Chain A
Amino acid sequence: MSKPEQDAALRCQQLEQENADLRTSLEMLRQDQEAGYHVQKRLLPLNAMEHQGFRLNYWLQPSLYLSGDFLDFWSPKPGKLLFYLADVSGHGASSAFVTILLKYIVSRYAKEDDLSPARLCTRINEELLVGGLDKHLTLVMGCLDTQTRQLTYTLGAHLPVPLMVSDGEVQELEGSGMPIGLFPGAVYKDYTCTFPEKGCLMMASDGVLEVLPGEGLEARQKEWRLRVAASGGDLESLLQRLPGEPDNWPDDVTLMTVSGF
């Protein structure tokens, strides 16, 4: 073998070794992410839950392994249902860490508090700012009285706006609010409405708007509304009405419903 040939063979061998090393590192990272995904999945509530005439269920698809979307629901005391859906800025591991912190903060304060979503949001806002994580989130949080059917909720700059489906009609939940973890002293407000008989509240993270056709936020929100109306508030039926393959969606997508029966 001539000298240049020897050099080329050696270089080729080196490259093969480097490729093998890269594959191993990538596989290790993937396994690490997968382990993280399993932990995050365990922090989600059991899908679905039925409680005194109401049913809650969800669908969550991370764009990577870990998700910046999060949701939770449980009954903190008899006759009450507390639920929220949050979307942390960014996606992937750093956002997933904040979802874990969120779950911890909410479950801690929901015990002491009188279950006012607005007051809970004020607490989350303070805690996130004190933490200095440079991460914020948008959220919709509600507390439902299963006896009186009164729904108390707060909106933390969340898009798309939650939709109430009842008797074939679709209505946006009224109200507005600030994002959480951005502005010190942000004020949150509790809104109330009566949960309609056989009604269904449909919530989603903004990733869903990215998969819908249309130019601009308004057009996509309109599209979202049409599809929710056509599904009658049924999660499975809604999923079939979303375009493309969930595996290829660019952002985390989460859907959650609360329905009365």
Chain B
Amino acid sequence: MQTGKLLSAKSQHTYILKLVGDVRLTLCCTLDKLFERIFNDAEINSIVIDLSQADNLDSTTLGLLAKIAVKASLKGLMQPSIISSNRDITLLLNSMGFQQYFLILDRPLTSCEQLQEVPQLAGSESHIRAQVLDAHRTLMSMNEHNKEAFKSVVQALEECPQTH
């Protein structure tokens, strides 16, 4: 197995972290530097973690990934994506509940056809209201914590007077 490596790059507004080989992080002093680089950079609004060439991740590395997701959500960044084509690693990520915090893809999105810009919400105010309400109801149904967190938002939206 190849010795692990951590590679990083920044492309426009996206920070890319690529983990290669058998990744074992016994020391974590360099990680703080890494976090600084990602989260103190105002230009970055999305994070992609590429595990397509990783053979194995140790638990400390999993901890690092989790921390990135937590920090990203606190900073209001987009949900980070993980590219994992290794079935074993995907299994491990799912067993750790990572699918709740990351968008897990099995191959990188490279071709332009795959990357279509999502159209902005168009439509009447009541249409948007219904969409937002629906999204938050879905969030509430995911777990107990969300249920509490979004209760007041949903209540407010439900009580909000309808305009046509």
Select B66's contact among A87, A138, A182, beta carbons within 8 Å. Answer: A182
Given A178-B96, A183-B97, A187-B145, the answer on whether A136 and B70 have CB atoms closer than 8 Å is: no
Interface presence of A35 (CB below 8 A): no
Check if B63 sits within 8 Å of A134, measured CB to CB. Answer: yes
- Of B2-10, B84-92, B118-126, the one contacting chain A is B84-92
A179 in the interface (beta carbon within 8 A)? yes
| Per-residue contact bits, chain A 131-167, to B (CB 8 Å; 1 contact, 0 not) | 0001110100000000000000000010100000000
Q: A217 touching B66 by the CB < 8 A rule?
A: no
Q: Per DSSP, are chain A's interface residues mostly helix, strand or loop, or mixed?
A: loop
CA–CA, A159 to B91, complex, Å? 11
Q: How far is B69's CA from A182's CA once the two chains are assembled, in angstroms?
A: 10
Are A178 and B97 closer than 8 Å at their CB atoms?
yes
**Residues from chain A with Cβ under 8 Å of B92 in the complex:** 217
**Are the C-beta atoms of A184 and B95 separated by less than 8 Å?**
no
B residues 132-156 touching A (CB-CB < 8 Å): 143-145
B62 in the interface, Cβ–Cβ < 8 Å?
yes
Q: Does B131 contact A (CB under 8 A)?
A: no
Of B59, B92, B100, chain A has the most CB atoms within 10 Å of the CB of B59
Considering only residues 64-92 of chain A, those with a C-beta below 8 Å from chain B are 87, 89-90
Seen from chain B, the residues whose Cβ lies within 8 Å of a Cβ on chain A are 26, 28, 58-60, 62-63, 66-67, 69-70, 87-88, 91-92, 95-97, 100-101, 143-145
Which residues in A have some Cβ–Cβ distance to B below 8 Å? 87, 89-90, 134-136, 138, 157, 159, 176-179, 182-187, 216-218
